Structure 1
Amino acid sequence: MDSEVRFKALVVEKAPDGSFTRSIAQRRVDDLPEGELLVRVCYSSLNYKDALSATGHPGVTRQFPHTPGIDAVGEVVSCSDDAFAPGDEVIVTGYDLGMETDGGWGEYIRVPSKWAVHLPQGLSPRRSMMLGTAGFTAGLSVLKLEWAGVRPESGEILVTGATGGVGSIAVSILAKAGYRVVAATGKAADEAFLKELGAAQVISREEVTAGVERALMKERWAGAVDVVGGETLSAVLKSTRYGGTVTCCGLVGSAELPVNVHPFILRAVTLIGIDSSHCPSVPRQEVWRRLAGPWEPQMLDSMATEVTLDGLEEKIGLILQGGVRGRVVVRL
């Protein structure tokens, strides 16, 4: 492919005064970083980490100009190590995509071939980005609960931050897999939405944290998917039943964890960290296989809003304020 070919991308630039600007610009394929795999992107998505990168957060991106987008799906243009063939449809999520490596908010990406997996049969490119990193993280959380021995008959499963991208998909996956799901949210107006996804009960985040100041709380949860962290995760651990398992994949509440050892040494509670960025290939492929089949969330279309690059500006502000429900898909 001609390296001078130009394509459209959202570009974040840093001004001399330290401020950041965003614009839709023309870039050249030759501007992309090194990598074996060149992909023509058809869809990406908007994640909280993308919004941080788009506003210049130094914990996500330090090198500018930069194109965010930690998710991408598209068609292989070329692959120098023959891991993929031209025309293959691939998903790229995680690793460094959209952080320091130019990401999916551009019509082309170039990345190491090991970052990609084949788009599973039965899953369309658009629907794969309705899932994206959020769906993959939710699926990996459920897989880890399953591997830890948490079954539908084990008891109630709590999902915190349930109206967000990860939380809403986790509710749907768990319900479809036969679990009794309790969804916790700070948005009372979304109760009907969560019940449509399959939640058996919707509770407030205040109900989750009531009594968190105690060393232990009343046992309730057989397992939990926590995307909030902080005091919420502390309360979840303290109220998980003997032998239960909690997965942790987010910090929208706080990165700090104010908890004692009692849940672990008196109730044998297991806390499992979920890292979707550098997840090895075998569980990565297994999660995508299940998301394309038995775990594909019901109501996936109703959980997603589609925008073009031009429509991202409004959504970036909304997601930073906690105002996005479900998923935002970006059509390139």
Structure 2
Amino acid sequence: MTIDYVMYLISVGFQSLQEYLALHVLMCLLPAFLLAGAIASLFSKESVLKFFGADTPKYISYTVAAVSGCLLAVCSCTALPLFAGIYKRGAGIGPATTFLFSAPAINILAVVYTAKILGYDIGAARAILAVIMSVFIGLTMSLIYERKEAEKSSIKTFGEEEHKHTVELFILLIAVLVAPEFMSSWGWKFTNQIIAWIPLIALTAYLSIKWFSKEELESWMGETWFLIKQITPLLLIGVFFAGIIVEVLPKEIVASLVGGNSIASNFVASIAAALMYFSTLTEVPIIKALTLLGMGTGPSLAMLLAGPALSLPSMIVINRVMGIKKGMTYIFFVIVVATISGYIFGLTIV
């Protein structure tokens, strides 16, 4: 490997990082961090445990965790601060990992776009299997680790009763998070998105100052900054190396390994998707291009399931948040279940 090639790969990594910063920080990651910080500081522990706690009936906690991400048009990296906030608040590892998988996998925009570009059969399969997979992975993680979970340290809260405006703030922050994606899907130019987005941000800021005390706002910003410091450096390092991996591993080579429908081809598709970074919706045109190069339908679904759930940046952060053992277990199950799901789906359409 020559010095010139090494320098070229480094430039590719920085270009990937530059594109990521331009596309995701302002209108994607920052709102997600603010939402996660609000969950960690302003939402009472009881309100989180009501749906996600280990003592909550499984049919409630897993149902809510599996479908709560359907309206959040976020990629795996953007879902991470939300997961970190939920997990930090004391959510059981089962519902928390169910949410971690489902949030980027079943957002409405991605499912509809998949059906439109790749076909309604694979779009429906993506939505249905993503929900089933998320619950299966969460239940398995709970079975392995729930009894071993130590009680999480408490976070400063402001009384046992939920603040009367936290629900309204939650809705506003979700609107801030998803509005750019919807405006983009409607074909709005970036400038128009910003013009329409600013009043929503201003309204959220004004009502936050009006509704919450200085102490509560400081706690919110403190939790947000803590999550930014914990996650962002690892995220950016992962994005840098993910860009290099995509360059070193050309799509043509991947396509040659994932033709047809076998356990091996679906496994390769799942691994490749886990190593690449897919921002929301970008996985669809990439997979469409790969199918034109010969990728089978089963491996296409495996990539659709594993790609939004994992990426090199997200795997680094997941291991940081949950610990190496739990993080690697989660990653293993995502890849294995995506492989099996893709293989079964490939058999059904032959």
For normalisation by structure 2, the TM-score amounts to 0.28
Say which structure is richer in helix: 2
Say which structure is richer in strand: 1
